[in-house]
A and B are shown apart, each in its own frame.
Chain A
Amino acid sequence: MRGGKRRKLNFSKLYSFRCGKASMKDDDHSQIGGPGFSRVVYCNEPDRFEAGIRKYVGNYVRTTKYTVATFLPKSLFEQFRRVANFYFLVTGILAFTPLAPYTAVSAILPLIVVIGATMVKEGIEDWRRKKQDIEVNNRKVKLYQRDGVFDYTEWKNLRVGDIVKVEKDEFFPADLILLSSSYDDAICYVETMNLDGETNLKLKQALEVTSFLHEDSNFFDFKALVKCEDPNANLYSFIGSMEFEEQQYPLSPQQLLLRDSKLRNTDYIYGAVVFTGYDTKVIQNSTDPPSKRSKIEKKMDRIIYFLFCVLFLMAFVGSILFGIATEDDLENGRSKRWYLRPDDSTVFFDPKQAPLAAFFHFLTALMLYGYFIPISLYVSIEIVKVLQTIFINQDIHMYYEEADKPAHARTSNLNEELGQVDTILSDKTGTLTCNSMEFIKCSVAGTAYGRGVTEVERAMDGRDGSPLVNEKANEHIKDSTDSKSPVKGFNFKDERIMNGNWVNEPHAEVIQKFFRLLAICHTAIPEVDEETGKVSYEAESPDEAAFVIAARELGFEFYKRTQTSISLHELDPGSGNRVERSYKLLNVLEFNSSRKRMSVIIRDKEGKILILCKGADSVMFGRLAKNGREFEEETREHVNEYADAGLRTLLLAYREVGEEEYKEFNEKFTEAKNSVSADQETLIDEVAENIERDLTLLGATAVEDKLQNGVPNCIDKLAQAGIKIWVLTGDKMETAINIGFACSLLRQGMKQIIINLESPQIQALEKAGDKAAISKASKESVRSQITEGKAQLTSSSGGSNAFALIIDGKSLAYALEDNMNKMFLDLAIRCASVICCRSSPKQKALVTRLVKSGTGRTTLAIGDGANDVGMLQEADIGVGISGVEGMQAVMSSDVAIAQFRYLERLLLVHGHWCYRRISSMICYFFYKNVTFGFTLFLYEAYASFSGQPAYNDWFLSLYNVFFSSIPVVAMGIFDQDVSSRYCLKFPLLYQEGVQNVLFSWRRILGWMLNGFCSALIIFFFCTKALELQAFNNDGQTAGRDILGGTMYTCIVWVVNLQIALAISYFTLVQHVVIWGSVAIWYLFLLAYGAMSPTTSTTAYKLLIEDLAPAASFWFVTLVVVISTLIPYFSYSAIQMHFFPMYHEMIQWIRQNGQSNDPEFCDLMRQNSLRPTTVGFTARIAARTK
C-alpha cells in the first residue's frame, strides 16, 4: 500500500495548508485561444500531426557562449571588439605594406600570441559550461512509451505533450501539468529551492478529473487537450484550460510543476509536458549571463582611448612636419636633400605629392607610435587574473571543512572589482542564516531559561575585551561547532527544566501549560517512524517546527493529529509517568501578518475549553487580562533582551473560555467562514479578535533563526570597511526585521523608517478591487512615506542617530517606478542599513540595478538560491553561496563561497590585493609604454619625422613580450602592500579601493608623466653623451645601432628598476624576474648579435664588439638610469613620510612594531567606528554613549 497511513489524510482539507484558491477570475480564462494564449498541447500525443506543425522547441538547454561552429568567428569578433586589439590587427595588416616602419613578422607575432592565449582561455571556460550542460540534458526521466509502459529517457528528448512520471526527490525536467500523484487526492509537495530559495514545501494539486490516473497502465488511452498561455517569465501565474472527455476545466498555477523544482514527500507524480527547454518559466526567467567587466577595465579602455588620442596627435604633428620637410626637398626642380633622390621618389616620399606622402606617413607613424599602446596589457591582465583566481580558490581560510567546499572564483574578470565594493546586497535565507530555526531560550513565569549563546552574543562578547579579537572569534566558532546540539532545531540547554526537572521549579504548573501550549498551538503534521517510534514534523514554517520539536524534547511529544484532535505524550507531574493525552481541536485561528498571532481552541479531558494563543509581543501585551499580567514586567524585560540578542520572540498566553461564550463564538465564526463575500477575512478577524482577549500570560519563547557562523562578525568588519549592506529577502517583514537584529544590521535605538502599504485606507481599496485606484493610492502613500522618511533624516542630520529603512515588496514595486526611484534611492543611501522584504526575484534584480546605476558605485550581490540569480547577474559582482542545495545561484555567480563569513576575507584581503595589484599593474604598463613610445617619437624629431625607428625591429617587438612584461606580471600576482592579517585588522584600508585612490586619473596621469620624464631624460642624456665624439678608445663614433642599443639598455634598466621601487613585497620570485629581465636583455643582445648579419642587421655583434668594450656605454647606462629614477624616488620618499596613504601608514606601523600597541591601533581604526553605521562595534559605540 503506497502512501500508507498518510493517504487517508486529506491534507488539502487541512485548514492551514492553503491551497491556491481555485476561484480563477473568469475574464482571464476567456482569453485562452486569443493572442498570448495560443499554446495547444495534445497530452499523450506528441507525435500527432497538429502537434508537429506547431514546432515547439525541444527540451535541450544550452548555456554555453559558443558552439563548435561559432567559436572561431565569435571569439575572434569578441577579441577584436577591444579597440586596442583591433588597432593592432589593422597595424598588423598594414605592416605587410611598404608603409611599415618595421618588418611584418615582428609586428604580427606578438598579436598572434596575445589573441591566441586569450582564445584558448575562452575555449577552456566554455568547455566547462558545455560539460555542465551535457550533464543536465542527459538526466533521466521516466517517459510514457506506447503500450502503457514508462521507460527512462534523457531530458533533452522530451517533447510538448509527453507524459512523464517523476519520482520522489527528482527534479521536474520541464514545466508539467500535474495529472495525478501517489496520493488519492492528487496532491504533491514541491520544493522550489531552485526557483525562489524557499525550502518549505509547496502544495500542488491536480484537477479532480485526472486524479484517477494512479497506474502506469491508466495512460493507455488517456488523451487530453491543454490550451494555455504562451511561454512567459512569470513564475506565479499560469492560465490555461484542459479539455478532457469533452469537458473544459480551468487550469491554474496550482497544477503547474516548474522545471528545476523538486518533488518531495510524494512517491511519484504523473504530468504532461507543456513547456520545454527555453519555453520553461525558469529559463524564460533567466537572462543571458551578462559578460561583466570590471570598472577598472572600463577605465582602462578610456585610458587607452586617451593614449590613442595622444598617439593620433603625435602622428598628426609628425606627418605635418614630415610633409613640410618633404615638400621642401625639391625647390624649382632642384633637389635639396639630393641624397634622398627626391626627384625620383616613391609616393611615400614624393615632394611633388607632399600631402599624400604626409598622409601615408601618418599611417606609418600610427604603426610606429603604436608602442604607446601596451599590446600585452590585456593578455598580461588575463594571465594575472587567472593566477589570482587560483590563489582565491586555494585559500585555506576560505575552505569550508564541513561541506568540503573551497572558495571558487568562476570568472576571473572581476577580481579587482572585489576590492571596490561599495554596497553589498544580500539575500537572507541560506546566506545570512542557515535556514534552520533553533529553540534557544524561553521565559516562563518571569524566569528566563536557556543557556544557549547566540551568534550575536558571541560576537558582542568578543568585542568587550581588546578591540582585536580575530583569534577569539575563531575560538568561538570552534566552540559552537563542538557543542552543536544533536537535535536539529533545538539548542536549548538548561538542566532546571530539562529531563522533567521542571516539576520541581516554583511555577511548575505554568511551565506545564507553557509547553503544552507549544505542543498544541500550531499546524504541524507529525510523521512517526514506524520502526523507531520517533516523531518528526512537517511544518509550514521552520519556527513552528522548532516549537514542536522543543516541546517534544522537553517531554510534550505531539505525535498524532486528526481533523478534530491532537494527541500528545506528556509527563504527568503527579505520577511522573508518561501519559497519552488527547485534546479535542475545536477551532484554529490562523496566523496572518495583520493579526500577528495564531490561536487554537481546544477542549481538554476535563471538558474545559481553552484558547491557546501565541503571537508577537506588540499585539499580545495588549490582549492580556488584568489578572493575567503577573509576569508582565519580567517577561517584557526578557523579550527585549532576546530581541537584542537577535532572537525571534513570541508571547504565549491562554484563557479558559466559558461554554456559553464559546458557543456564541463558534456560531459567528462558522458564519464568517461560510460567508462568500469579499470581506470574509475581515469578518473572521473580527470574530477572532473578540475571543482572543483577557489572556493570561505564560511566558515568551525565543527562537534563533540560526545565523551562519561568524555572520555578525563579518558584517561588522564589512561595516568598518565602509561597505553598506542591504538585505533583500522574500521573508515577511517581521522575520526580516528580526534577522536584521540578529546579524547586527539593526539595533535597539536605531530609528526605523518602515514603508509599507498596510494602511487601512489601502486595504479598504483592495477589498473594493479597483485596480487603478489601488495603484494610485499606493503610489501616493509610498511617495508620502518616502518624503516623510527623508524629512526625518534631514531633521536629525548631524546627530548620531542611525537610520534603518525597511520596505516591503508591494511598496518596493511602486518605489522602483521611474519617477520615484531617485527619491527612494536618495533615502536609502542615507540610511545605515536597508532591508527589503517580501521582494520577488525580479525586484531584487531591479533594486540591484537601481543601486548600481543610481550611485555609480560597485555593487556586490550575494545569495544562494535560484531566486537570487537575477540579482547576482545584475550586480557588478555576484557571489553565490555554495550551500547545501541548489546550484543555480552558484552557476550564475562570479565567485562562489561556502559561507557568508568568507566574504570578509574575499573582499578585505583578496579584493584589496587584487585591486591594488591590477591597478598598479595597469599604471605601470602605461608608464613603461609611454617611456618607450616617447623615446621613439623624440628620435623621430631628429630623423625629420621620416618614420625610422630608433631601435632594431626585434627590439621593438620584444619589448612588450620579454624585457618588461614579466616583472609586471609577477607584481600583478604577488605584490601585497600589507599582509592579510593587517588587511583584516584595519578594514578601513578597503576604502582605498572603494574610493579608487590607486586608480584615479591623477595617479594614472602621474605615472604617464613619470614615463614622459623618463623618456626625456633617457633620450637627451643618451644623445648628448654619445653625440659626435669618438665612442670608444679606437676612435669610432656612435651610429644608429649604438645609440639605439644604449638607449634601449637604459630603458630596460629603468623600467625594471622602476618596478623594483614600486613593489612593496620582494620575494625570491620578484628578484628572479626583475634581475632576470635585465639579464635576458643582455643575453638576447648577445644571442641575436651572434646570428647572421642578414637576420640581426644593425644588432650584429652589437654587444660584444661595440657596446661592451666601450667604457662610455657602461657609464652612460649608469648615469642615465640613476638620474631617471631620482624624481620618482624623491617623490615617493616625500609622500611616504609626509603624505602617507593608508596602506603606507600600516606599513609604518608594521615597521615600527607598533602593531601590538592597542592604543595606537585604536587611533588608526577610529574612523572605522562610527555610531551611524551598522555592525556590533557600532552597537557598542551606541551603547557606551
Chain B
Amino acid sequence: MAITGASSSGGAKDGTSDSSSVARRNSKKPKYSRFTQQELPACKPILTPGWVITTFISIGVIFIPIGLASLFASERVVEIIDRYDEDCVPLNYTYNKLAYIQSSETNKTCTKRLIVSKQMKSPVYIYYQLDNFYQNHRRYVKSRSDKQLRSKASEDDTSTCKPEAVTENNSPIVPCGLIAWSLFNDTYGFSVKNKVLEVSKKNIAWKSDQDNKFGSDVYPKNFQSGGLIGGAKLNASIPLSEQEDLIVWMRTAALPTFRKLYGKIETDLEANDEITVVIQNNYNTYSFGGKKRLVLSTTSWIGGKNDFLGVAYLTVGGLCLFLAISFILLYVIKPRPLGDPSYLSWNRGHTS
C-alpha cells in the first residue's frame, strides 16, 4: 500500500542526486524525507471484529479474578460501626440537643457496648465518622496557615486564618484558622471484660505531615482562648508535630461524610467479645444535623471494608464478556460485506 508511494518519491530523490550539486544548493526543492512527506512508518490499527472480541475477552479475563480477590479481601475485613450522637444525649435533652452539647454543666460521658462479630486481628483501627460536615468548604479549607504550622519563625503569618487569626489583643493564635479551631474533641475509652484496652495514638498521621508540615518547634499558643470555643484544646507544651490528632484533622476530608483515624488498638479482639466504650460526647454536630459514629476496623491489602471495588471489577469484567459474546453473535448473524458503499450517509440521500 504505502510501498508504491514511497518508491516513487524515492525515485524523485535519486533524480535530484544525479543533478549537479550546485544546482541543488540553490534549488527550492523540498528535501525528501519520510517525515516531511508524511510517510512515516506507522501502525494503522482498525477495529476489526477479531480485535474487538479479543480486547473484550481479555478485559473480562483479567478483571474477574481481580474483582474476586478484592471482594474477598474486603470481606475479610471486620468492621464495627456504632452511631452514638443520638444515644449519648440524655433523654431530657432529646428535643434540645444543642443546649445539651453547648452547656458546660452537662455530663458528656456516655457508655456504649459493642459486640465483636468476628475475630479482629491487631492492629484494630479506631475511627470517628462525621456526617454532613463540610471539611471541604472553601472558607474552611483556606482557613489555615501552612507557614505558621511549619516553623516558629512564621508565627505571625496568620493573614489567611481569619476569623481565627489573632486574639483580641492581636497576638497570633497558633495554630490559627478554622480547621484547627474546630478540632474534633470527642474521646473514647475502650475496655474488654473490664480490662482497659490501650489506645495508641502514635503513627496515625501521615509521616510526611508530621515531619515536614508541622514544626517540632511550634507550640500551641493562644489556642481556644477567645470568646467562642470551637473544639478541642491543645496541650501547649507539646509541639505541633507531636499532636497527631490535630495533624489528622488538618488533612481535610474530601467529602462531607468522612472518617478520620482516632487511634489503634494493638491487641486482637476475639469474636463475641463485648467492648465497653466510654465516650466523652463533646463535639457539636447537633447544630448542623451531623451524625457521629465510632468505627472499629481491621484492614487488608486493599484497605478497609468496601465492596465497591470488587463489585466494580466483577461488573466491568462481566460486561466485557457479555459484550464479547454479543459481538460474536452480531458478526455471525449479521455479516455484511465490509465497506458496502450503500451504507454511506450521503448516498442514502440522493440514490433511490
Please list the residues of chain A having a beta carbon within 8 angstroms of any beta carbon in chain B: 101, 334-341, 344-346, 348-349, 390-391, 393-397, 399, 401, 404-406, 913, 942-944, 946-948, 950, 974, 976, 979-982, 991, 995, 997, 1021, 1023-1044, 1064-1070, 1092-1094, 1097, 1100-1101, 1105-1106, 1110-1112, 1115-1116, 1118-1119, 1122-1123, 1126, 1129-1130, 1132-1133, 1136-1142, 1144-1152, 1154-1155, 1163-1164, 1166-1167
Contact = CB atoms under 8 A, between A and B. Distances in A.
Contacts of A1038: 254
Interface string B293-322: 000010111111110110011001001100
B291 interface: no
B150 A1094 contact: yes
Interface string B313-346: 1001001100100010011001010111101111
Given A948-B136, A1166-B341, A1106 B206 contact: yes
A391 B258 contact: no
Instruction: Please provide the 5 A-B residue pairs with the shortest distance between their CB atoms, ordered closest to farther.
Output: A1029-B304, A1145-B339, A1030-B304, A1035-B125, A339-B182
B46 A943 contact: no
A1129 B54 CA distance: 13
Given A1033-B300, A1137-B330, 8 more contacts: A396-B30, A944-B256, A1027-B308, A1035-B264, A1115-B70, A1126-B320, A1137-B331, A1144-B46
Contacts of A1167: 341, 344, 347
A341 B178 contact: yes
Given A1139-B343, A1166-B341, A1093 B304 contact: no
B43 to A, nearest CB: 4
- Among the interface residues B147, B203, B206, which one has the most CB atoms of the partner chain A within 10 A? B206
A1151 B42 contact: no
Contact of B140 (A340, A346, A401, A1152): A340
B341 A1145 contact: yes
Nearest to A1028: B259
A510 to B, nearest CB: 47
Given A979-B2, A1136-B46, A1145-B338, A1093 B12 contact: no
B253 A1040 contact: yes
Contacts of A1133: 47, 52, 327
A1150 B29 CA distance: 31
B36 A391 contact: yes
A802 to B, nearest CB: 16
13 contacts: A101-B138, A1027-B255, A1028-B129, A1032-B303, A1033-B300, A1035-B204, A1037-B304, A1039-B252, A1100-B208, A1119-B66, A1119-B313, A1133-B327, A1141-B344
B254 A1042 contact: yes
Contact of B338 (A943, A982, A1129, A1152): A1152
A644 B319 CA distance: 65
Contact of A1025 (B59, B135, B259, B308): B308
A346 B178 CA distance: 13
Contacts of A913: 38
B46 A1147 contact: yes
B255 A1023 contact: yes
B232 interface: no
B153 interface: no
Contacts of A1145: 338-341, 344
A1148 B46 contact: yes
Which label, helix, strand, loop or mixed, suits the secondary structure of the A interface?
A: helix
Contacts of A1028: 129, 257-259, 304, 306
A1116 B309 contact: yes
B341 A944 contact: no
A914 to B, nearest CB: 11
B199 interface: no
Given A1027-B255, A1035-B125, A1142-B344, A339 B140 contact: yes
Contacts of B252: 1039-1040
Contacts of B27: 404
Contacts of B41: 1067
Contact of B312 (A1021, A1023, A1032, A1139): A1021
A395 B301 CA distance: 58
A1065 B52 contact: no
A1149 B66 contact: no
Contact of B139 (A349, A1041, A1064, A1141): A349
Given A336-B287, A1029-B297, A1139-B343, A405 B28 contact: yes
Given A1037-B260, A1112-B309, A1145-B338, A1030 B125 contact: yes
Nearest to A1089: B208
A950 B28 CA distance: 54
Contact of B251 (A401, A944, A991, A1039): A1039
Nearest to A997: B345
Given A997-B345, A1029-B303, A1149-B339, A1035 B284 contact: no
B267 interface: no
A231 B284 CA distance: 86
B37 A346 contact: no
Contacts, number: 307
B84 interface: no
B9 interface: yes
Contacts of A1033: 299-301, 303
Interface residues of B, number: 113
B253 A1112 contact: no
Given A1029-B303, A1151-B48, A406 B1 contact: no
B70 A395 contact: no
Contact of B306 (A339, A396, A1027, A1042): A1027
B127 interface: yes
Interface in B132-147: 133-141, 146-147
A396 B339 contact: no
A1174 B316 CA distance: 54
Contacts of B150: 1093-1094
A1094 to B, nearest CB: 6
Contacts of B140: 339-340
A1100 B346 contact: no
Contacts of B46: 1064, 1136, 1144, 1147-1148, 1151
- Among the interface residues B36, B44, B63, B140, which one has the most CB atoms of the partner chain A within 10 A? B44
A340 B38 contact: no
Contacts of B95: none
Given A942-B256, A1040-B254, A1164-B341, A947 B138 contact: yes
B261 interface: yes
Nearest to B132: A337
B164 interface: yes
A666 to B, nearest CB: 60
B37 A394 contact: yes
Given A346-B162, A395-B30, A404-B28, A942 B313 contact: no
A829 to B, nearest CB: 15
Nearest to A388: B38
Contacts of A1035: 123, 125, 204, 261, 264, 297, 299, 304
- Among the interface residues A344, A946, A1133, which one has the most CB atoms of the partner chain B within 10 A? A1133
A1066 B259 contact: no
B212 interface: yes
A168 B66 CA distance: 87
Nearest to B12: A396
Contacts of A995: 346
Interface in B70-116: 70, 77, 79, 98
A800 to B, nearest CB: 14
Contact of B42 (A401, A1025, A1066, A1166): A1066
Interface string B19-53: 00000000111111000111111111111110010
A1123 B284 CA distance: 41
B121 interface: no
Contacts of B4: 981
A1105 B59 contact: no
